[in-house]
Amino acid sequence: MRITTQPSNTCVLVTGGCGFIGSHTVVVLLQQGVEVVIVDDLSNSSEKVLDRIDQIVGADAAEKLTFYQADVNDREALDAVFDAHTIDAVIHFAGFKAVGESVQKPIEYYSNNIGNTLTLVDAMRAHGCKSIIFSSSATVYGDPDELPLTEASPKKPATNPYGWTKWMIEEILGSLVVADPEWNVVLLRYFNPIGAHPSGLMGEDPKGIPNNLLPYVAQVAVGRRDAVHVFGNDYDTPDGTGVRDYIHVMDLAEGHAAALTWMAGRTGCEVFNLGTGQGTSVLEIVKAFSAACGRDLPYVIEPRRAGDVTANYADCTKAREQLGWEARYNIADMCRDSWNWQSTNPNGYEG
């Protein structure tokens, strides 16, 4: 097992590496000289993202990228990947991720998200790889008692099955460290990723109707949707709409790279919040995106969604002090880059 402080000597397996956050993280890692292996079943992503990664990082860095189309639940496929590469660490993104959908499809969410994690860590153990960064979520804090949320804030009963999968996977990975102190686990609890690569070549491209706010807003802006659906305007917030800590996907990608560097030579289990520390309401996002695209976007108020909390935002002091990381982009930047991506790729990676 080796994670070195020299990125050029490190090989990282990125599950779900063709997805929104995964693909941007792959770009940052390749630009730092890390060898990257992606495993992605493309169930909610496009293989075309690989060409965009190549364009952004250039030919030399792209030579360090290998892609396997496979389900992380497929143990035989994982074993083949570990046999073919000396994997030093894993960044685990692969999983279903829509809060609303998870309420409707709990069996699928528990089976896929928890199942693929168990398959993955068992394969890691069998191949002597015991370093993993897990893509966790602020949903593990449930409906918070007080804000901002710190890593010491209590984990609360989750408000939806998606949140429960994140909650349980954190417990599973923590149990690995208790059972075997050689494990090196970092749980990154991030808040609401939005934005896109500043080049406009990569961004969020959900299949079907978007479950997250920003891609939906962006699709309204390019005319693919009629209006933004705002779920609930009777929350105890300044304008009645839900408040979230939105973070630029590039800041998030840099956070994963910083965590990978920090892990070198360590063992144990550590938790970090990744956010901006600023809460922004749904209507404030609609207004900011309207400014980015140059026209007022229509919206309609709908009833609250099951599983949504009133507000959450992060205290990211720990990540700043230990990882040397903090968010650099503001809401205007995030909406500008989202609009740049969506306006130049109105149908995402498909056209």
- C-alpha 306/C-alpha 328 separation (Å) is 32
162 is catalytic: yes
Assess contact for 34 and 12: CB atoms under 8 A: yes
* Cα three-residue angle 182-14-197, rounded to 5 degrees: 135
Determine the Cα–Cα distance for residues 41 and 46; give it in Å rounded to an integer. Answer: 9
Chain position carrying tokens 């590469």? 85
111 token code pair: 């089976």
Residue count (the chain): 351
Residue of 109, 141, 162, 235 marked active site: 162
Report the C-alpha gap between 303 and 224 in whole angstroms: 22
Task: Report the distance separating Cα 222 and Cα 224, nearest Å.
Answer: 6
Instruction: Find residue 185's DSSP bridge partners.
Output: 132, 269
Distance of CA 61 to the CA centre of its chain: 23
Local structure of 216: helix, strand or coil: helix
**Alpha carbon distance 103, 121 (integer Å):** 26
Beta-carbon contacts of 311 under 8 Å, excluding residues fewer than 6 positions away, are: 144, 147, 235, 237, 242, 243, 244, 279
Coil, helix or strand for 6?
Answer: coil
Point out the residues that are catalytic. Answer: 162
